[in-house]
Amino acid sequence: MQENRYSLVDYKNMSVSAKKIRDFYAITPDAPIYQKEFGFYVLDRWIEEGFLKPRDQVADYDAYLREIFLYDEPAINEIYGLGWCEAGFFPKFDEKVMEDRGDYELVQDFAGRSVLCFKGRRNGFMPEYVDHPVKDWDTWERNVKWRMNPNTPGRMNTTKEEIEKAIIGAEKGNSVVQCCVGGYMYLRSLIGPEELLYMFYDEPELIHDCMKTWFELADAVIAEHQRVVAFDELFFGEDICYNNGALISPEMMKEFLLPYYQQLYNNMKTRNIDHARPLHLQIDTDGYCGDVIAIYKEIGCDYMSPFEVASFCDVVKIGRQHPDLRMSGGIDKRMITQGGDAIKRHLDYIMPAMRKRGGFIPTCDHGVPEEVSFENYMLYRRLMNEYCK
């Protein structure tokens, strides 16, 4: 049966979850909806309050959460190896404390940034980024560029387990997804959000060299992955928007990002073992994305997420404007926090319209925050389960 890693298994032989994913890709109206969550920032609170078992008491915590919250069995196999919020460095920078500042410490992280953290605590809060590794041609070539060599011994071993799981998942019809840090997110992690804006103007050739290196790494790694498995999706972690729109102009996107995206996407489609299988292109960006959808669609983007409601993303309206766009996210975490009628009104607005449309996977728009009570989340899940059946 291993031929299914190359050609899509017949729909009738797919798992229930895989069928839902295929109906999602096909934008099938009124089809049962695949249920998952974007992520959780609240689990420690729920464990402390006694609603969930501690992690060390459960062998497979993801399966445990799926059972409690009535989520579908996994039908998406993601393969990384190319970064997500930072560059796909191999080797990574050494993580080390650079300076003790009393209650805080200045740390060099794995992406070469200087980060101000609470002493003894590295996660669960928004850190302050003090410095970034690329300042000019010298720092780019001396400290960074060589870490993105696709031929570095051992690099391909980092995705071996994910590839093996994807091959097994393909037997059930799972979606196989190549994840990759998007160009803007990559450049921002190298240079810093403010400094990058100046460098677009002051050092455009350096930006292009950074992007050329990004492309050559991604193309080589993906080509190796494609030798053994067919892909359904290329997924960029981009975060190019804030609550009023894009952080850079359409002209900058078209000069510095889109040509590299287009070439990578075209190469990937050409190499895909199953030439009959559509290769979808997903862009993940926070903030208000309405103004960039048409720009990304120019290179074939047909899937976006997570549509943050606090940034004025309305999946019902955007879904009507772009009926060919697959969408994930769109559920307001603030409404789940409020509970009761607020949850029901919110879902009554979104779910009937999006169920009728198709091509929608609802999730809390950017993870379940600590403010959400277990009772409110369980109410949300009970209601959502009725909408999605």
- Please report which confidence band the pLDDT of residue 125 belongs to, taking 50, 70 and 90 as the band edges: low
Residue 326: give its domain's CATH number: 3.20.20.210
Residue 193's Cβ-side half-sphere holds a number of Cα atoms within 13 Å equal to 13
In the chain, the number of structural domains is 2
d(CA 13, CA 11): 5
pLDDT of residue 123: 67
| CA-closest candidate to residue 377, choices 329, 337, 345, 348 | 337
Average pLDDT over residues 145-171: 95
Question: For residue 2, is pLDDT > 80?
Answer: no
The Cα angle at residue 354 between residues 366 and 352, in degrees rounded to 5: 115
pLDDT of residue 1: 43
* DSSP secondary structure string for all residues of 16-76: HHHHHHHHHHTT-TTPPPP---S-BS-HHHHHHTTSS--GGG-S-HHHHHHHHHTPPPP-E
Average pLDDT over residues 150-157: 95
pLDDT of residue 126: 72
The domain of 117 spans 94-132
| Residues 226 and 329 both lie in one domain | yes
| Residues 194 and 292 both lie in one domain | yes
| Residues 108 and 252 both lie in one domain | no
Sheet with 303-305, side-by-side order of all strands? 76-79, 175-181, 233-237, 280-284, 303-305, 326-331, 360-364
Q: What's this model's pTM, rounded to 2 decimal places? A: 0.94
Percentage of the residues of the chain whose pLDDT score is greater than 90: 92
Give pLDDT tens digits for 228-272.
Answer: 999 999 999 999 999 999 999 999 999 999 999 999 999 999 999
| Residues 127 and 141 both lie in one domain | no
Structure token digits, residue 248: 């850079």
d(CA 336, CA 333): 5
Question: For residue 274, is pLDDT > 70?
Answer: yes
- Please report which confidence band the pLDDT of residue 5 belongs to, taking 50, 70 and 90 as the band edges: low
Are residues 262 and 255 in contact, defined by beta-carbon separation less than 8 angstroms?
A: no
| Residues 153 and 300 both lie in one domain | yes
| Residues 205 and 111 both lie in one domain | no
| Residues 114 and 87 both lie in one domain | no
Question: For residue 85, is pLDDT > 50?
Answer: yes
Percentage of the residues of the chain whose pLDDT score is greater than 70: 98
Q: What share of the chain is helix, strand, coil (3-state, %, to 5)?
A: 45, 15, 40
| Residues 123 and 157 both lie in one domain | no
| Residues 218 and 101 both lie in one domain | no
**In terms of DSSP bridges, do strands 114-118 and 128-131 run parallel, antiparallel, or are they unpaired?**
antiparallel
pLDDT of residue 118: 86
Average pLDDT over residues 37-54: 96
| Residues 22 and 34 both lie in one domain | yes
Average pLDDT over residues 359-381: 96
Pairwise pLDDT comparison (7 vs 242), residue with the higher score: 242
| Residues 103 and 200 both lie in one domain | no
